[in-house]
């Protein structure tokens, strides 16, 4: 048997069923964060340069304040985003990618680019599927 097959099967079995179920699956733990409704957009923004809270809000106009706060906190908790408070009046807070955040973004960037370049193909497949179903 191909070693790669055994390897992947093992990974799936390990992370799929046993202790803690998927809770301990690295893939799940990382993908979960970037799969939030706003995470990829915010990571894209912060990959360019640091932004303040209000600036991010303007950049992603239809995000609610609650979700902006929460998504940033989640990204910070996992070590992707650094939060720095400046004791100005009124206070300002700047968000930026950590080294780990940049590293992770470098890995997910491939997928984002694929999405942009191949979206027409996905749309076409979807149309075909829906047409066949009708």
Partner DNA sequence: CTGTATCCCCTATGATACTG
Partner DNA sequence: CAGTATCATAGGGGATACAG
Residues forming contacts to DNA in the complex (CB under 7 A) are: 36-38, 52-55, 57, 62-67, 69-73, 83, 90-93
* Contact range with a copy of itself by CB under 8 A, out of 64-72, 86-94, 99-107: 99-107
In the list 14, 22, 54, 84, the residue contacting a copy of itself (rule: CB under 8 A) is 22
Please, which contacts does 58-63 make with residues 24 or more away whose CB atoms are closer than 8 Å? 63/38
Least distance (Å) from DNA to the CB of residue 100? Answer: 20
Contact partners, residue 44, CB within 8 Å, separation at least 6 = 112
Site residues for a copy of itself, 63-92, by CB under 8 A, read 63, 76-79
**Spatial separation of the C-alpha atoms in residues 117 and 66, rounded to whole Å:** 32
Least distance (Å) from DNA to the CB of residue 10? Answer: 21
Other beta carbons less than 10 A from residue 24's beta carbon: 12
Shorter beta-carbon distance to a copy of itself: residue 9 or 88: 9
SS3 state at 7: helix
What sections of the chain are H helices per DSSP?
Answer: 3-16, 26-34, 39-48, 53-59, 65-77, 99-133
Contacts to a copy of itself by CB under 8 A: 2, 4-5, 8-9, 11-13, 15-17, 21-22, 26-32, 34-35, 37, 40-41, 44-45, 47-49, 59-63, 76-79, 100, 103-104, 107-108, 110-116, 118-119, 121-126, 128-130
């Amino acid at each position: 048997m191909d070693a790669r097959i055994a390897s992947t099967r093992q990974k799936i079995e390990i992370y799929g069923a046993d202790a803690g179920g998927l809770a301990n699956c690295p893939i799940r733990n990382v993908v979960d964060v970037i799969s939030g409704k706003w995470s990829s957009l915010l990571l894209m923004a912060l990959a360019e340069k640091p932004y303040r809270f209000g600036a991010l809000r303007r950049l992603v106009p239809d995000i609610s304040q609650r979700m902006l706060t929460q998504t940033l906190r989640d990204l910070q908790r996992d070590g992707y985003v650094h939060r720095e408070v400046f004791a100005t009046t009124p206070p300002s807070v700047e968000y930026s990618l950590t080294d780990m955040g940049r590293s992770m973004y470098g890995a997910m960037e491939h997928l984002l680019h694929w999405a942009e370049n191949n979206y027409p193909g996905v749309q076409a497949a979807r149309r075909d599927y829906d047409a066949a179903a009708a």
